[in-house]
Amino acid sequence: MARLLDIKNVTVRFGGVTAIDDVTFHLDEGELLGFIGPNGAGKTTMMRAITGVVTPQEGSIQLMGQELIGMPIHARIRKGMGLSQQLVRPLHNLTVLDNVALAAGYRKTANPLAALFKTDRRAERATALKILDRVGIADAANAEPANLSLGYLKRLEVARALALDPNVVLLDEPLAGLNHAEAEKLADTIQDLQSDNMTIILIEHNLGEVMRICTRLVVQDNGRKIGDGAPEVVMKDPIVRRAYLGEEGDNAAA
Ligand SMILES: Nc1ncnc2c1ncn2[C@@H]1O[C@H](COP(=O)(O)OP(=O)(O)OP(=O)(O)O)[C@@H](O)[C@H]1O
């Protein structure tokens, strides 16, 4: 399997707080990697370091052998980084379809802002419709985001990430706020994406769905990596159980 992302000895500090402490892990093509840990473990900070919102003080982050640290966010997207945010932030004056079409034009447009002013987005709209169908919200193509349920908005975020035509998709808590049935359905969709050869990092607190769909887990606690491997093996590790689940006995996460 080809190595897509290589994260080596990454440290991120905010003043006196070490949010990421010397963390190393990798992502191979085709994996669905669950990146988990308790509140404040450093998951979002790692995501931001990968996408370029924060700059690590130490370490290296390579996408297909190319160093990302120092590269602006839009350049990382052109190199194949797709991300869906924890907070759903579509453009409210555009339809659902055009929100996705805009993202579909992003990698091809020399000036990202130019995509906003392009009057004819026929090709991008056709691509966008396919993506909406893939994530199960094609019926809302002409709706405005303000009228969507949270479940649809979460899928719109995933659609916008996919529209960037990424080599790797970063999903930050896509299941948060969804009820059990909605979360299960969206997790199924994420698993389908992986079956279609998409490579995915999933930050998620919904441990049941993470265990069900992820092929590998990386567990963070207090900025440090404490687990990395097959989900059923990692979740049996007493260190992970104590730190992540706050339980000491062998009954946790059975
Ligand atoms: N911009 C910032 N400035 C200062 N401290 C920060 C900043 N961002 C994160 N931190 C701190 O870094 C640590 C890791 O936070 P982070 O949000 O990455 O954790 P998380 O694992 O994503 O948590 P959660 O599951 O609650 O979203 C926390 O102690 C947090 O307070």
The average pLDDT across 6-23 equals 97
pLDDT score recorded for residue 43: 94
pLDDT score recorded for residue 208: 94
Say if ligand 1 is within 6 A of residue 19 CB.
yes
* pLDDT-derived band at 107, boundaries 50, 70, 90: low
pLDDT greater than 90 at residue 73: no
Could you tell me if 215 and 229 are in contact, meaning their C-beta atoms sit under 8 angstroms apart? no
pLDDT score recorded for residue 82: 84
Considering the chain, what percentage of its residues have pLDDT values greater than 90? Answer: 71
Angle between helices 96-106 and 122-134 (to 10 degrees): 110
pLDDT greater than 80 at residue 195: yes
* pLDDT-derived band at 165, boundaries 50, 70, 90: confident
Residue 158 DSSP code: H
CA-to-CA dists, residue 198 to 33, 203, 232, 249, angstroms: 11, 16, 22, 37
* C-alpha closest to that of 3 among 61, 55, 42: 61
pLDDT greater than 70 at residue 88: no
C-alpha 59: how far from its chain's center? 21
pLDDT greater than 50 at residue 252: no
Q: Among 108-117, 199-208, 239-248, where is mean pLDDT lowest?
A: 108-117
pLDDT greater than 50 at residue 77: yes
Contacts of 128 (CB under 8 A, 6+ apart): 97, 98, 100, 101, 103, 104, 141, 159, 163
125: CA distance to ligand 1 center in Å?
A: 37
State the Cα–Cα distance between residues 111 and 113, nearest whole angstrom.
5
Ligand 1 atom showing the smallest separation from residue 223 Cα: 14
**Three-point CA angle 26, 62, 154, nearest 5°:** 70
Say if ligand 1 is within 6 A of residue 90 CB.
no
Contacts of 115 (CB under 8 A, 6+ apart): 102, 105, 106, 109
29: CA distance to ligand 1 center in Å?
A: 28
Could you tell me if 168 and 63 are in contact, meaning their C-beta atoms sit under 8 angstroms apart? yes
Number of C-beta neighbours around residue 129 at 10 A: 16
Give the residue ranges of DSSP H helices in the chain.
43-51, 73-78, 96-106, 112-117, 122-134, 150-163, 180-195, 207-213, 231-234, 238-245
Report which protein residue has its CA nearest ligand 1's atom 6: 14
pLDDT score recorded for residue 251: 44
Global pTM value:
0.88
* pLDDT-derived band at 119, boundaries 50, 70, 90: low
